[in-house]
Structure 1
Amino acid sequence: MQRAELQAYLQAFLQVDKFRDYAPNGLQVEGKAQIKRIVTGVTACQPLIDAAIAYQADVLLVHHGFFWKNEPQVLVGMKQRRIKALLAHDMNLFAYHLPLDAHPDVGNNARLAHQLALQDARPVTDSPQELLWRGQLPQRMSAEGFAEWITKQLGREPLHLPAVGDVIQTVAWCTGGAQDYIDQASALGVDAFISGEASERTFHSAAEQGVHYYAAGHHATERYGIQALGEHLAQQFGLEHKFVDIDNPV
């Protein structure tokens, strides 16, 4: 397929125009016009770029790309090396941030729910930009048992900030760096909230509002959306697709 066709499809499929984001969504670095092979990954780091080059990909499709708000505009050092490698191999870089978090089928929140077998998973409002989701476990678990379940399903032990009570059934979540949604989760009356990271203030919010908090890793909670998007494109357009997971403990 042609690059322009892929770009237009992703723009519509992910409803990009409905989001105000911290970085441009879509084509960030232009490469060859004809697309046959795609590599997906969480972040456009050098090891992922190198893996895409080794696969002879035409497109590197990521959740975290380049050109973030307040990021230095000059192309020097690490950023220069990354972009130089993409340009040298005529490789397109596509990146989708909030639109991928929010998508109801291949989004990070939707796919995390699938990975954790959460039932009745849905955004807490009808807004297409809603990033906070809620659902429930098929059966109640202890707080410790839920931490063990997250570890098993994500391959990473979460940081658990405990609250009063030891029964988990209702859960809210938002992948990545969304720890401050814990206050909205508390207002929903859920037993637990999951995100990727934790801040110092998160400990107090969890303890004082009675919500168990599980910081399951920014990377670990956001591996599944971009992989699902790549698989969708492969099925939709007959493209070759490879997901590359660059290990990241954060």
Structure 2
Amino acid sequence: MQLIELRNYLDTLLDASRLKDYCPNGLQVEGRSEVARVLCGVTASQALLDRAVAGGYDAVFVHHGYFWKGEDGTITGFRRQRLRTLLSNDISLFAYHLPLDVHPELGNNAQFGRLMGWQGEARFADQELGWIGRPAAGADGKTAACIARSVAARLGRDPLLVGDGDRAVRRVAWCTGGAQGYFEQAILAGADLYVSGEISEQTVHLARETGVPYIAAGHHATERYGARAVAAHLRERLGLATDFVDLDNPV
């Protein structure tokens, strides 16, 4: 399909213009005009770009792209190498940050909740980024410690549980990635437990002092699922040849 058609489709699908963000969402680097093969991943790292070149892909789709507010805008060093790889191989780069977090079906929060078997019932925090609802029935939903073990089993890595692991969890709130700043809003929304990707020093004190435990499950680990869902969507709906690559990241 035409690159402009894919751009318009993705912008509409993910409602790219609706959210205030820290980067431009959509087509960040323009490549060849025809797109048949798309490689999807979490971050537009050099390793992912090298995979795209080796595999003969026409475009790359990621959650974490380029041109973040506040960063050095000079095209030198690793930034030059990344852009050189894309431009010299005529590969396009699509990046959707917050739009891929909030999408009700394909988004990171929706996909993570589905993976965990949680029933999302409401949104909270700025731009309705956070989700809150009921944990999975059975042993997974009894206590914060039980849920932490369930997170470990599903993500294939041990999360960090801070606070009262014995607290009964009737309502769980979550926001993937670096969303520790929404912890207090999750507490005010009535959460018995908050799950995100990252954790900060002050988060520990808030968990201890409020009695609401916090699970830090990994930024990359919690945000692998939106880009994977988009890969499947583009394959099924548009007939594009798509692949998702999960490059190992311990964070």
TM-score of the aligned structures, taking structure 1 as reference length: 0.95
Tell me the equivalent position of 1:224. Answer: 225
Query: Which residue identity lines up with residue 74 of structure 1 in the other structure?
Result: T
Does the 8 Å CA contact 1:28/1:94 hold for their aligned counterparts? yes
The CA deviation string for residues 185-238 of structure 1, in whole angstroms up to 9 with x for no partner, is 111222110000000000011111111100000000100011101111111110
Matched-pair contact (CA < 8 Å) for 2:143–2:165: no
1:132-211 equivalent positions in 2, closer than 5 A: 132-137=130-135, 138-139=137-138, 140-163=141-164, 165-211=166-212
1:104 maps to 104
Other structure's SS at 2:164 match: coil
Q: Deviations over 1:135-177 (max 9, x none)?
A: 1122332322211100011112111101374322320001110
Q: CA deviation at 1:101?
A: 0.3
Contact 2:144-2:164 at 8 Å conserved across structures: no
In 1, the alpha carbon distance for the partners of 2:53 and 2:156 equals 27
Aligned partner of residue 21 in structure 1, secondary structure: coil
Using the TM superposition, give the Cα deviation of residue 110 of structure 1 relative to its aligned residue in structure 2, in angstroms: 0.2
- Alignment partner of 1:150: what SS? helix
Equivalent pair of 2:109/2:174 in contact (CA under 8 Å): yes
Partner Cα separation in structure 2 for residue 125 and residue 118 of structure 1: 16
Task: Specify the alignment match of 2:62 in structure 1.
Answer: 62
Q: Are residues 57 and 123 of structure 1, via their aligned partners in 2, closer, same or farther at CA, if it must alter by over 3 Å?
A: farther
Residue 223 of structure 1 aligns with an amino acid whose one-letter code is R
User: Hey, what's the Cα distance between the residues in 1 that align with 2:190 and 2:11?
Assistant: 35
Q: Deviations over 1:12-57 (max 9, x none)?
A: 1111111111000011111001010010000000111111112111
Within 5 A, what are the aligned runs for 1:25-40?
A: 25-40=25-40
SS in structure 1 opposite 2:60?
Answer: strand
Mean alpha-carbon deviation: is it higher for 77-86 or for 130-139? 130-139
2: CA distance between counterparts of 1:84 and 1:231? 28
Contact 1:191 1:211 (8 Å CA) reproduced = yes
1:78 aligns with 2:57: no
**Secondary structure in 2 matching 1:190:** coil
Please tell me whether residue 131 in structure 1 is matched to residue 129 in structure 2: yes
Paired with 1:148 and 1:49, the residues of 2 have a C-alpha distance of: 34
* Pair 43,126 (structure 1): closer, same or farther in 2 beyond 3 Å: closer
Per the alignment, residue 23 of structure 2 pairs with 23
Measured in 2, the distance between the counterparts of 1:195 and 1:125 equals 14
**Paired residue type of 1:163:** D
Alpha carbons 1:108, 1:221 under 8 Å: kept: yes
Q: Which runs of 5+ in 1 are unaligned?
A: none
8 Å CA contact 1:164, 1:207 repeated in 2: no
Structure 2 Cα separation of the partners of residues 176 and 4 of structure 1: 30
Q: Contact 1:186–1:210 at 8 Å: present in 2 too?
A: no
> Hey, what's the Cα distance between the residues in 1 that align with 2:125 and 2:233?
24
| Cα separation, 2, equivalents of 1:122 and 1:86 | 41
The 8 Å contact of residues 164 and 210 in structure 1, kept in 2 or not, is answered as no
More deviation, 9-18/98-107: 9-18
SS in 1 for 2:243: strand
Matches of 2:27 and 2:85, distance apart in 1:
16
Cα distance in 2 for residues equivalent to 1:123 and 1:135? 7
**Identity fraction in percent:** 48
Gaps of 5+ in 2: none
1:105: how far off? 0.5
